[in-house]
Amino acid sequence: MNINQIKLVIPQPWRPFLGAIRRWVRSMPPRPRLQKQRLLSDPSLTETERALLSKVSGKIYFNDTMYDGDGAHYYKVGLSAIRCIDAGLAQAKLTNVRTILDLPCGSGRVLRFLAQQFPEAEITACEIQTGPVQFCVRTFGARPAYSSVKLDEVDLAKKFDLIWCGSLATHLNERDIVALVRLFARHLAPGGLAVFTTHGDFAAQRVARREFEYSIPEDQTGRIVDEFKRTGYGFADYAGQKNWGVSLTSPEWIRARVRELGDLREVYFEEHGWDDHQDVFGFVLE
């Protein structure tokens, strides 16, 4: 019986719990650990990546929505983030990273790698969801911090040398992307680096070809791709949600928004650099 057949025999009110139960079963310890062991012998990894991966925790949060059962991909996304962060730090000529903010940390897909790559740094795990933050605190020794849907109201009372923001701008509308950039500027130490990801041309092409599951309501797909082509920005809410969906943003559109805020200087950009999918920007606070 496959998952669609199971859905048919489960009463409608219980179906939302089905996903959580599947994630819980999939994340049970032997499986992700075995997947990590297998990836360690993958010849496509560099020796540096292999050494880093060997130190990284193989524990997966029971409700980690980023872990779909494909452990090799899950860990490769973390390795890819570290490669982008290292490239950004090199461009920024930033060698002393003492404080790191991972926003949104999710359930530590990248944070587990940050903890090993920067063992001396104090890492803050920040999210809107409590369970994933607490998992990062318990499992990777991070400091907890809580965000808000009102990003302009987030005040972590701390400045960071490095902010990693993987796949948040990709889900926000224009107003909230601008608020997110303001949050970076408020929370960077002078000379500090924010590395964040967006859906650029590469993702827009995949949306247009319906090649990847972005969960955009079917009737919105054409509109956001057209708007992106015309203006460099397109956004659609997920079905039943408000101000949370999928954004498409061209590099020029992002640069124009950041320029309006002043103070942040671009030092790094890589088209579909994160996981061969999302564009990656690095901005330094002057």
Ligand X SMILES: C[S@@+](CC[C@H](N)C(=O)[O-])C[C@H]1O[C@@H](n2cnc3c(N)ncnc32)[C@H](O)[C@@H]1O
- Measured at the CA of 180, the angle between CA 134 and CA 207, to 5 degrees, comes to 95
Q: Is 245 in the site for ligand X (CB under 6 A)?
A: no
Q: Is 166 in the site for ligand X (CB under 6 A)?
A: yes
Contact pick of 32, 71, 104, 232 for ligand X (by CB under 6 A)? 104
Contact pick of 84, 89, 168, 169 for ligand X (by CB under 6 A)? 168
* Shortest distance, position 168 Cβ to ligand X, whole Å: 5
Instruction: Note the Cα 22 to chain centre separation in Å.
Output: 22
For the record, the structure tokens of 60 come out as 């997966």
Q: Is 225 in the site for ligand X (CB under 6 A)?
A: no
Contact pick of 23, 76, 109, 277 for ligand X (by CB under 6 A)? 109
* 190 prior amide bond cis, ω within 30: no
Segment contacting ligand X by CB under 6 A, of 8-16, 36-44, 144-152, 227-235? 144-152
CA distances from 28 to 8, 24, 160, 254 (A): 26, 7, 34, 39
**102 burial class (0-12, 13-18, 19+ CB within 10 angstroms)?**
buried
Question: From CA 234, how far away is CA 12, in angstroms rounded?
Answer: 33
Q: Is 216 in the site for ligand X (CB under 6 A)?
A: no
Indicate the residue among 109 and 257 with the shorter CB distance to ligand X.
Answer: 109
Contact pick of 127, 161, 275, 279 for ligand X (by CB under 6 A)? 127
Question: From CA 281, how far away is CA 194, in angstroms rounded?
Answer: 8
Segment contacting ligand X by CB under 6 A, of 3-11, 104-112, 206-214, 231-239? 104-112
Look at residues 113, 132, 141, 120 and name the one whose alpha carbon lies nearest to residue 56.
113
* Shortest distance, position 68 Cβ to ligand X, whole Å: 12
Indicate the residue among 238 and 266 with the shorter CB distance to ligand X.
Answer: 238
Site of interaction with ligand X (CB under 6 A): 66, 103-104, 106, 109-110, 127-129, 147, 149, 151, 166-168
